[in-house]
Every structure is written in structure tokens, then in C-alpha cells.
A and B are shown apart, each in its own frame.
Chain A
């Protein structure tokens, strides 16, 4: 294989997880996870609570440490090397269930903090970028407010803008709408859909099956620490193969 072909192949794969295991003490949370995510691919991860979905995506930017197997993000393997971890974290954005905005900083400062301190972007430039992304998530007028003064949906959109300000190549979403009131879910999902349309590589842990149907290239179903089934959304919803998937889908679609 020529060098050009090699690099071509490398750049096509955004995330590669090979035979990954993780334990919390004696508890085996993740079992033999194998996953390859292509650049620009959108993946939705679903499954019952406690199935290890969040833990899996949190391993991708090393908020959790895995004990066995390999995780390669953007061609860099995650090891204990702090420099590499930081390098990966700069390229991987994350949105949390509980937003985790910094309450003592304004919305604008939340967005400019990491670019200024991590990327060493000049303040004015960082602020301009931040305003651009705040406009994209449709809340530029809230820039001078504190997170505590915003609604849940607005806070989550700020959190998305904050991640985008670092110009990440990959975005991880950890149940971004689970803590929101029903009428605020759609405003966050709309933001995520537009992000998907622009070709961002995304992994979303979510129970929003409508979102999965519109956006996902692939849907993963996890249970008891294993990836049980993965398929394109249409196939996944219409013709689930495993019994556990069928049971899970019947439970959540029943309510929807």
C-alpha cells in the first residue's frame, strides 16, 4: 500500500475502538467493544440505563480510563500520555446531560475560555468566533448573561457553542436532551441536526428516536456493557435482530 493510500485510509477513520474492556472495581462495565467511526459519520447509541453507553463515549476523550484494548482517535492512540490525551481532547468536543456550563462566567466567557487558554487565541478573535457560534445556536443576545439566568434549552445550546468554539473534528453528545423540559428538547435537537448536516462526525447517546431516524447513519444498541446490535436506522427500527433490541424498542417506542 502506498503512503498516500495509507494516509487516505487513516484520515477516513475518525475513531477506532478495538477490543476495549473496562472495569469499575470488580464490575465489568464495558465488554469487548469494537467500533469504527468514519469521518463525517453520525452514530446514535441507545440502550437501557446502566448499559455502558455513556461510559463508552466518555472513554473516547479519556474522562474514563479503559483497562484493555485500544482506542485510536484521529490517528492518535489513547494511552497514559497526558500530552496525547490533551491533544485528543482539543479535537473532540463533548456535550453533557447536565450542560456543565461554568456558572461563574458569562456565556461569552464560557465560550472563549478554552480557545484563549488552550489554543492561545487572542481575546478579540476568540470573542468573534464565540459570537459566530452563539449566533448559530441562535442565542447571541444572551452572551453577557450568566448560565444561571438561562433556560435549560438555552444552556445546552451554549454548551454546544462552547464545544464548537474549539473547532472540534468530532463531537460527543452524552444524553444532551435528557435533563430538559419537553418544550426545550426540539431547540437543542434542531441545533444538533444542523450540525450533522454540515458533516460533523458525531456520536450521540440519546433516547430521541426521531433524531436517530433523521440524522443517524448507524444506530448502536448497547446492553450490559456490550454492543448488541448496530445497523442503519431504517433497518434498526423496522427489523431489529436481537431479542433484547426488540424488547427495548417496544418499551421506548410504546411511549413515543
Chain B
């Protein structure tokens, strides 16, 4: 006998135990004895760690004062950071010229906001402003020597300012250069491919410290007498090339994930190599590489601390130098905690931005 349903079943809401706070907790926190145990232990560990941090950094900490003598609490003594704030932020940049750095920050922040956020749809002008105008203006602003601004030698640059200069320049150079290297490595032209493979494998095969050393110690040996590049520029070149090699491999991974069908469809429509790369392949490849690209950026950002080895005073080294001051004995913990917090803040920001960007670019074709 045939069984026929004549009426459609109505849609019903899910059972209450599956939804809401209680449903969520039951499913995720207390679903089994092991899960209950893990939940309780985790909550305890988090509580223990948090309370220790809060009491060290806030409750038992000193915020007010001028000298070492004001460090009376059992927790952190932020007076040290406060007293050295100017140096930590700007290094030995002359106090009366520090406004130039701040103006540069503001200009860059406006540009980054316009390019990275969602408020402006047409990115052409913001991009030109951020990637062409701001770098040029910042160069004249920071270094000086024209428009009536006195020269501030790069040896006076330091602190967070130097860290940000190193990181942003290397990032802006590394990404495009990395893309070019990745395309070159996949090129059908043997010479181009060999050059790119050689460069990537050479740079990737040596530690960054070695690259920095070579750039700062060995390079001058090969240059004729009197010719001398700025130490900062040498560090920048070294770091940019180093991260470009890494970036190239990240981008290549993304390129390989894009099916051959995409380039074939582009070719069959009459698009040339650069059009097909720029309009079809790269947008998709870069999108799926966002997590790895940002990973590389974060690594690069933290690697800037290695310039200590060639005598540049970035955020970490200037704080470290401060802790050796005999007026401030025993402030190493505060110094390193502060540096760690600053680095964490920037890196966490980049990480969150990449997640936001991934979601924004998602167009319903996850495979």
C-alpha cells in the first residue's frame, strides 16, 4: 500500500534546551563529566592568573611619583615608565621637534583608517594618499632638512617611533615585492623563475640577524671609502628583503590554491596575463592568504626588535637601556611587561583586523 503525505509539516522552533544561554552552556561547558571537570579547572586557572595580573599591574601598583623612591607598593611601579615616557616613545628625537612625529602619526592614521575601514567605498584616492603622499610627507617631516625643519639624524630616532617606522616601511615594501616574487616563481620564463627562486631560497635560508649583520657590518667593507648608507636604511633594506622572501612563499601558497579554471576562464574571455592576475587570481589568492599574510606581518613587527644587534634603539632596546640606569635599579620587570603589552596591543589589533577583513570579503564560496 502506498503511503502519501497530503499536508506539509509546519516549521517549528528548536527545543528550548538547544537555544539560549542555558542551552549553550549545557552543550559547550557541561556536556560530560570530563567537560565539567575541564570547565571548572579552566575557570580556576583563569581566575588565578587574572587576579595575580590585576593585583600586580593595578591594585598594588604605583602610578604617582617622580623617582625610584616613589616605588613603594609590592606590585608594578609604573612611575618608571612615566618618567621615561618621552624616550620610550621617541628615543633621542629632540623634545622640541617631537610634534613632527605626532603629525606624521596623525596623517598616517587618517590614511590607514580610510583605506582599511569600510566608510569609503572607492579606495583610489585614500590609497594614493596613504601609500604615496603620506610616506613622502613623513620622510620630510621626520628627517627634516627642508621646509625650514632642522635635520634630525636617524641615529636620534628611537623607541616606539623607530619600531613603527621599521615595521611599516618593511610591511609596505614586503607585500608588493613578495607578490612580484611569487608571480616570478610561478612564471614560465626560466630566467625570471630562477632569479626569484634563488632570491627567495637564499634570503629564507639565513637568519634575520645574519641579514642585518651583513647589511650593517659587511656592506660598508665592500663599499668604496666615503660612501656610506644610513644605518637605518640598511636595516630597512635588510628587513624588507627578508620579509619579502617570506611573503612570496605565503602568496605562492595562495596562488596555488586558485584553480586552473579561473585563469582559463579569464583567458577565454580575452584577458591578458596581468589582467587575469590582477583582476581574477590575486584578489582571490590574497584573500585566502590573509591569515598567513597577517601572520607574517606580526612576525615581522616583532622581529624589528632584532635591530638592537646593530645598535638601533627600538622600543625594546630603549627600555632595556633604561633599566640599566642606576637611578632605577630593579625596574626590568616593569619595562619588559610594558614592552610586551605594547607589542601585544599592536599584534592583537592586526589579528582582529584580519579576521574582520576575512569576514567582510567572504562571498559565500567557502569550499
Contacts and interface: CB of A to CB of B under 8 A. Distances in A.
Interface of A: 61-63, 82, 86, 89-90, 92-94, 96, 98, 100-104, 113-114, 117-118, 146-149, 159, 162-163, 166
Given A89-B269, A92-B268, A104-B363, 11 more contacts: A61-B268, A62-B267, A102-B280, A102-B284, A104-B283, A118-B275, A146-B363, A146-B365, A147-B365, A148-B366, A166-B269
Contacts, number: 71
Contacts of A162: 269
Contacts of A90: 270
Contact of B269 (A62, A103, A118, A148): A118
Given A146-B364, A147-B365, A149-B364, A100 B262 contact: yes
A113 B268 CA distance: 13
Given A113-B279, A117-B279, A163 B365 contact: no
11 contacts: A63-B264, A89-B270, A94-B265, A100-B261, A100-B262, A100-B264, A104-B283, A104-B365, A117-B271, A117-B275, A149-B364
Interface of B: 259, 261-262, 264-272, 275, 279-280, 283-284, 287, 361, 363-366
Contacts of B287: 104
B267 A89 contact: yes
B262 A102 contact: yes
Contacts of A147: 365
Given A90-B270, A118-B271, A146-B363, A100 B265 contact: yes
Q: Closest 9 CB pairs between A and B?
A: A148-B365, A100-B265, A148-B364, A114-B269, A103-B365, A100-B261, A146-B363, A94-B268, A90-B270
With a 10 A CB-CB cut-off, give which of A93, A104, A148, A166 has the most chain B CB atoms: A104
Contacts of A113: 269, 271, 279
Contact of B363 (A96, A103, A159, A166): A103
B261 A114 contact: no
B284 to A, nearest CB: 5
Nearest to A101: B265
A141 to B, nearest CB: 17
B271 A114 contact: yes
Nearest to B264: A63
Contacts of B280: 102
A37 to B, nearest CB: 18
B365 A166 contact: no
A51 to B, nearest CB: 20
A92 B365 CA distance: 28
Nearest to A86: B270
A104 B268 contact: no
Q: Select the residue from A98, A148, A149 with max chain B CB neighbours within 10 A.
A: A148
A201 to B, nearest CB: 16
A166 B270 contact: yes
A96 B364 contact: no
Contacts of B269: 89, 93, 113-114, 118, 162-163, 166
B262 A63 contact: no
A166 B279 CA distance: 17
B326 to A, nearest CB: 60
